[in-house]
């Protein structure tokens, strides 16, 4: 069980190492020079990115492109694997392919006829992705929109296999092994999901990014009083839809400022906070050349998705524990909450939410790139 979520008083908070502590109410006065610099950078970033805010339901394009680009660079040294990827993708890079599953989602609004805009890639890739879309339409069951995430409750200490709420046979933890079995030839390319080997590589390039985004794996659930709780199959409460139903408020310049939808914040804002203005190619070259700590997975590749989900759950938990939830609105009979606020709690001696989240994303994107390359190497060598 978690410690009770106590409201935090923002006044009279001291940050160890700061020259000015407990003096006045300005956050800036209480920061040490390094934290001050970090905060200023983040505030500028926030202002820029809020101008470019877009709705997103996965790591935004940049996060996915980076994961693909790191894998491209890792595989460049393994010619036989790189050649097979090239052949399956008709020369499209993993960097470019990694965002196609989200582009497909934006073409397929529930209840509407899918848009006809062509995707990046060859005619064959377009035809296969269209067939995949038609076999898993947005308003169907299963829907390709559901393949990108799972919603394991963050309250308590559940692992993916430790319960049923939020999981499904077509969630990301099931779809990654499905793609793996297609590439291994254990599931025919003529399967009911219309996942060919080419589509499988495209989906893996994308889902490996998504499963490294904490809010694609863990979700908060609320009881009828609007308090976080541990749901059960008999009482599922109201889900936050992976943070899509919550608005995040982070601390900037001593005030709680809206950072937009909690889920979208982790998809896009954190990636920009983590990598700043540097070019994706520069970042990917650096990260592909530096081995991340604790990235290796063990056992059969079919088990990797569940290992990845369990690996990121503590971070998903922390992403929620650092917040307090207010004004949670729900309607009797609904599956999800209607809306609510997720506000940063600042604890003495601990980094700001934005700084912690950016560091987390940097590490996860790095590991995701290495793991995508390792997975494709296992499957295609």
When asked if residue 311 is in the footprint of Zn ion (CB under 5 A), the reply is no
Residue from 39, 49, 58, 92 that binds Zn ion (CB under 5 A)?
58
Q: At what angle do helices 172-184 and 353-380 cross, to 10 degrees?
A: 20
C-alpha torsion angle, residues 149, 155, 156, 160 (rounded to 10): -10
Q: Is 91 exposed, middle or buried (0-12, 13-18, 19+ CB in 10 A)?
A: exposed
Nearer CB in complex with Zn ion: 146/321: 146
Smallest gap from Cβ 16 to Zn ion, in A, equals: 39
When asked if residue 212 is in the footprint of Zn ion (CB under 5 A), the reply is no
- 303 vs 93, 234, 306, 325, CA distance in Å? 26, 29, 6, 34
Smallest gap from Cβ 278 to Zn ion, in A, equals: 24
Residues in 72-131 at the binding interface with Zn ion, rule: CB under 5 A: none
Smallest gap from Cβ 159 to Zn ion, in A, equals: 22
When asked if residue 210 is in the footprint of Zn ion (CB under 5 A), the reply is yes
Nearer CB in complex with Zn ion: 15/92: 92
Nearer CB in complex with Zn ion: 74/148: 148
Helix-then-strand count for the chain, H and E: 13, 8
Write down the H helix ranges in the chain: 33-51, 61-75, 79-88, 94-97, 100-107, 123-135, 172-184, 197-210, 262-264, 270-275, 280-288, 304-321, 353-380
When asked if residue 67 is in the footprint of Zn ion (CB under 5 A), the reply is no
Query: Which range binds Zn ion by CB under 5 A, 32-40, 158-166, 176-184, 207-215?
Result: 207-215
- Span between the terminal Cα atoms of the chain, in Å: 44
> How far, in Å, CA of 98 to CA of 205, rounded?
5
Cα angle for residues 274, 376, 192 (degrees, 5° grid): 105
Residues touching Zn ion: how many (CB under 5 A)? 3
Smallest gap from Cβ 128 to Zn ion, in A, equals: 18
Query: Which range binds Zn ion by CB under 5 A, 6-14, 45-53, 140-148, 246-254?
Result: 140-148
When asked if residue 148 is in the footprint of Zn ion (CB under 5 A), the reply is yes
Nearer CB in complex with Zn ion: 82/194: 194
Question: By C-alpha distance, which of 281, 267, 288, 278 is closest to 371?
Answer: 288
**Residue whose Cβ sits closest to Zn ion:** 58
Nearer CB in complex with Zn ion: 46/58: 58
Query: Which range binds Zn ion by CB under 5 A, 12-20, 56-64, 304-312, 332-340?
Result: 56-64
Smallest gap from Cβ 361 to Zn ion, in A, equals: 15
Determine the 3-state secondary structure of 31 from DSSP. Answer: coil
Query: Which range binds Zn ion by CB under 5 A, 53-61, 124-132, 194-202, 269-277?
Result: 53-61
Smallest gap from Cβ 57 to Zn ion, in A, equals: 6
Inter-residue contact 230 to 156 (CB < 8 Å): yes
Nearer CB in complex with Zn ion: 242/260: 242
When asked if residue 62 is in the footprint of Zn ion (CB under 5 A), the reply is no
When asked if residue 305 is in the footprint of Zn ion (CB under 5 A), the reply is no
Question: By C-alpha distance, which of 141, 143, 121 is closest to 132?
Answer: 143
Name the residues that contact Zn ion, by CB under 5 A.
58, 148, 210
């Amino acid at each position: 069980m978690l410690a009770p979520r106590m409201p935090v008083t923002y006044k009279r908070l001291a940050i160890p190492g700061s020259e000015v502590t407990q003096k006045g109410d300005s956050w800036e006065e209480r920061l040490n020079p390094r934290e001050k610099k970090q905060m200023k950078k983040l505030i500028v970033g926030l202002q820029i990115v809020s101008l470019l805010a877009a709705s997103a339901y996965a790591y935004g394009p940049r996060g996915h492109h980076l994961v693909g680009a790191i894998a491209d660079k890792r595989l460049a040294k393994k010619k036989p694997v790189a050649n097979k990827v090239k052949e399956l993708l008709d020369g499209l890079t993993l960097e470019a392919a990694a965002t196609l599953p989200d582009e497909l989602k934006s073409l397929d609004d529930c209840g509407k006829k899918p848009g006809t805009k062509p995707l990046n890639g060859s005619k064959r890739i377009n035809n296969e992705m269209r067939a995949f879309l038609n076999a898993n339409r947005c308003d169907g069951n299963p829907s390709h929109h559901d393949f990108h995430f799972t919603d394991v409750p963050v309250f308590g200490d559940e692992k993916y296999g430790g319960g049923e709420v939020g999981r499904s046979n077509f969630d990301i933890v099931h779809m990654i092994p499905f793609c793996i079995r297609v590439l291994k030839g254990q599931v025919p390319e003529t399967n009911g999901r219309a996942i060919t080997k080419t589509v499988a590589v495209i989906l893996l390039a994308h889902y490996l990014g998504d499963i490294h985004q904490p809010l694609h794996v863990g979700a908060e659930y609320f009881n009828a009083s609007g308090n976080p709780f541990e749901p059960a199959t008999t009482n599922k409460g109201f889900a936050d839809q992976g943070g899509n139903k919550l608005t995040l408020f982070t601390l900037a310049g001593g005030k709680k400022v809206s950072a937009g939808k909690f889920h979208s914040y982790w998809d896009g804002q954190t990636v920009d906070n983590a990598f700043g203005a540097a070019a994706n190619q520069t970042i990917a070259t650096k990260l592909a050349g530096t081995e991340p700590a604790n990235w290796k997975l063990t056992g059969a590749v079919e088990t990797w998705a569940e290992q990845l989900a369990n690996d990121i759950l503590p971070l998903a938990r922390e992403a929620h524990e650092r917040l307090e939830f207010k004004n949670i609105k729900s309607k009797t009979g609904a599956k999800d909450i209607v809306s609510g606020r997720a506000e940063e709690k600042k604890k003495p001696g601990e980094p700001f939410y934005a700084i912690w989240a950016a560091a987390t994303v940097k590490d996860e994107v790095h590991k995701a790139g290495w793991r995508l390359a390792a997975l494709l190497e296992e499957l295609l060598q």
